A and B are shown apart, each in its own frame.
Chain A
Amino acid sequence: MNAIETQNLTRVFERYNYTDTQVSMDREDNPGGLFLSLYNRYFNKNVKKETIYAVNEVSIKVKKGQLVCILGPNGCGKTTLLRVLATLLKPTQGTAYIMGHDVVKEEKVIWRYVTYVAGLLTGGAWMDFRLTPKDILTIQARLYGFPEERIRDALELSRLIDVANVRVSTFSTGMLARLSVAIGLLRDSPVYLLDEPMVGISKDVTEELYSYVKNNIQKRAGATFLYATNNVLEAQRLADEIIMMYRGKVIAQGKVDELITKFFKEQAIDIEISNCSSDILKSIDSLPKVSKIINLTSKNESDITLVIYTASPREILPILIREILEKNGEIRYIKVREPTLEDVFIKVMKEKSKEGEVAS
């Protein structure tokens, strides 16, 4: 049984585009606001109804104990997908299961299996800042029906035991984030849905939290994570598997290495050249077995930086170096590297955005 499974999951939103209309007039404190709003929706020709496919026929499977990152730009449907799985939104079409339970038909039991965190800093939402971590965890334990003995473990794991009786209002951002993790630990959910959890948290704290998540929650408790992010490095660092989304659709899915091999058969040569003439550039353009050249500098500059993608860097490099030196160019830096997840992400997003432009 998969921890999370969706089949053709679709969630549609309707929105109104108020072209040439004073949208502020149907505000809440205007006594006629409701009537104006209804007029705008149904009779005003300047208001256009739009249908948005926030999640479009998404089918995914996440095995128990896996940490899967959903990677995609803003507005690609990550949050909507997580909110459907957390039973906060109803899918328009398709099915979704958490630990074998249907999120629509068995909505009332899902909360026991899922901890949904919309940003670790949003964890503040679970806290009353006048209380202490101990008070907050006691409330959470009672609310969720967990033994209060677990509170001490959660405080120790999140390294908050020394400040267990200090008011949360005096805490730093990092401490608040750790308290959010403590709440997560306390709940001991089999499935965690994390929506861009590290946004707004500094690098040192995120590093600490990554290892908490990996070592204490995922490995120790065997929990499953669906982790939405637009940070490629974060995804590459944490994920057992990646799901890439674009405009509501899953466009790629697999392990990091698999994705890189799938999208890039080549390696990348980063090269910086001084005194680079047009002859040198022509020679580089005519090199054999080069699939793509990206010039990272602006035109008419003699010092340039290039990324050359090739499947045969060992064959290319001697020719490339000889051509540059013979034409009086100077190589300032050269490095052959494997493509990264970031290369895949940029390539896939550029292709999809071009497809979108062509389609529209």
Chain B
Amino acid sequence: MEWMLPFHIVNLIIGVSTWIFFANTFGSSSPFLQNYGNDFISFLILGLMFNSLFAYTLDGFRISTLLFLRGRIGSMGQHLSMYDYVKLCGIPVSVPILAWLIDGYIETSITLLVYLIAGIIFGLNIGSGNYLVALVGILIGLFAVAGIGLLSASMITIAGAWKGIEPISWLVKLLVGLLAGVYFPTEALPDSLQLISLLLPHTYALKIARMALLTGFGFESLISEFLAVSLMSLILFPLGIIVYRYSIALIKIKTLVE
């Protein structure tokens, strides 16, 4: 990680700069930005920031589980699988998986920080925002996305999804990029696509965070978004946990290598 970090930061700065110049060229005059303080640069930077957090939450469980299941311990041709090693040491399976997950979140936090610094340099304006509402909205959204992430990770043992793409995560990422309002307001989409965007927890969480931070909206003004994203979290997160626990129990039952 220590060697990858400088390159990662340079890539991020170049990426953010590209979007900011894009925003400077085309942004702020759109009627769709009225709800977001007519500030496209801030709109975009917040979208990029929170989306990187959601993207890792979606993939983190799957990546950590894959690292655990494929991991080997030892050297010079003498190995134990990570699973055997952990079990034989009496370490709960959750420990290495959570360790990798936390490692990924540390890396994602650095990304967020770079976005924030670049944003402040280029004019991110969240000084009058309602931070608490934004934080709660993002946290509830993260639980919902984590639920999808857990379902996606479960597919490794349930369906054998270490081969090729994992369909749940792939589909959600595909839809989020276009429909969840990461790069532009969902109001710019045709009605039919806006309906599909309502199925994604990202849509609500991003809307809550942006409206709270850019125009200072409170809980009362965003009640419908909060209700929708909370409902999704209440369904997806427990469901994800149940299915994921089952998928981990399958390691001892199924033959993992065909």
Contacts and interface: CB of A to CB of B under 8 A. Distances in A.
Contacts of A226: none
A108 B94 CA distance: 13
Interface in A119-169: 119, 121-129, 143-144, 169
B52 to A, nearest CB: 23
Interface stretch (A28-36, A238-246, A263-271, A311-319): A28-36
B252 A90 contact: yes
Given A88-B252, A90-B253, A111-B89, A122 B80 contact: yes
B258 interface: yes
Contact of B90 (A28, A38, A111): A111
Contacts, number: 96
A14 B85 CA distance: 24
- Grouping DSSP codes into helix (H, G, I), strand (E, B) and loop, the B interface class, with mixed when no group exceeds half, is loop
A34 B165 contact: yes
Contacts of B79: 122, 124-125
A87 B87 contact: yes
Nearest to A171: B76
B186 to A, nearest CB: 29
Contacts of B254: 14
Contact of A88 (B74, B84, B90, B165): B84
Interface in A260-314: none
B123 interface: no
B9 interface: no
A31 to B, nearest CB: 5
B75 interface: yes
Interface in A15-43: 15-16, 26-38
A111 B75 CA distance: 23
B160 A37 contact: yes
B228 interface: no
A118 interface: yes
Interface in B71-93: 73-80, 83-85, 87-91
Given A87-B87, A90-B253, A33 B75 contact: no
A124 B78 contact: yes
Interface residues of A, number: 43
Contact of A31 (B76, B159, B164, B258): B164
B166 interface: yes
A50 to B, nearest CB: 11
Given A28-B163, A111-B87, A111-B89, A16 B75 contact: no
A26 B159 CA distance: 13
Contact of B75 (A34, A114, A128, A143): A128
A34 B164 contact: yes
B164 A124 contact: no
Given A32-B165, A34-B165, 17 more contacts: A15-B255, A28-B163, A30-B164, A31-B164, A32-B164, A34-B161, A34-B164, A34-B166, A34-B167, A36-B164, A87-B87, A90-B252, A111-B88, A116-B84, A125-B79, A127-B75, A129-B76
22 contacts: A27-B163, A28-B164, A29-B164, A31-B164, A31-B165, A34-B165, A34-B166, A38-B160, A86-B88, A87-B252, A88-B83, A88-B84, A88-B88, A88-B252, A89-B252, A111-B88, A115-B88, A116-B84, A121-B78, A122-B74, A122-B79, A123-B78
